[in-house]
Amino acid sequence: MLLKAQNAIGELYVEIGNTQEGFKYFQKAWSNLQCLPLSDLKDNWNLMKQKVRVLNNLAKSASEEYLKENHVLEYATEVSKLVDNIPHDQATMKYTEGVLMLVDGNTYLAKMKFQECLRIRRSLFERKTC
């Protein structure tokens, strides 16, 4: 519950334009998530969803130094492998990986991740014909 609250408060700060304060809450949520092994998250859908949101928020608000020092890209890649059966979260993680790869300077791989994200989202929103 604390994790969800920290992430939500961070999102509220970002919405009102205070990204720095929002980042502090995302950082707290990230710290709490680091205490949980990925294997625990695989079994708990709600925790996995929170992890996806926190990683996405961190990717959008943290400094390049913070992301590199905390190996957020590597962690995001591992989480991305665990959300294969949840298309919305899978698309979010592909986007997050793309942002992190851009920060890392790998524009080619970032573009591929963004394209994967778009493909997944397109499949979620396209109308099915009978």
Q: How confident is the model at residue 72 (pLDDT cuts 50, 70, 90)?
A: very high
Q: Which residue has the higher pLDDT, 112 or 84?
A: 112
The structure tokens listed for 118 are: 């778009």
d(C-alpha 33, C-alpha 54), whole Å? 9
Contacting residues for 21 by C-beta, under 8 A, at least 6 apart? 10, 13
pTM of the model: 0.84
Q: DSSP secondary structure string, 23-84?
A: HHHHHHHHHHHHTS-HHHHHH-HHHHHHHHHHHHHHHHHS-HHHHHHTTHHHHHHHHHHHTT
Q: How far apart, in whole angstroms, are the C-alpha atoms of residue 30 and residue 127?
A: 36
Question: Tell me: the pLDDT tens digits for 95-128?
Answer: 999 999 999 999 999 999 999 999 999 999 886 5
> Tokens 């492998």 — which residue?
81
| DSSP SS3 for 1 | coil
Amino acid residing at 97: E
Q: What is the pLDDT of residues 29-61, one digit of tens each?
A: 989 888 877 676 666 778 888 889 999 999 999
CATH class of 2-124: mainly alpha
Q: Is the pLDDT of residue 82 over 90?
A: no
What pLDDT is attached to residue 41? 64
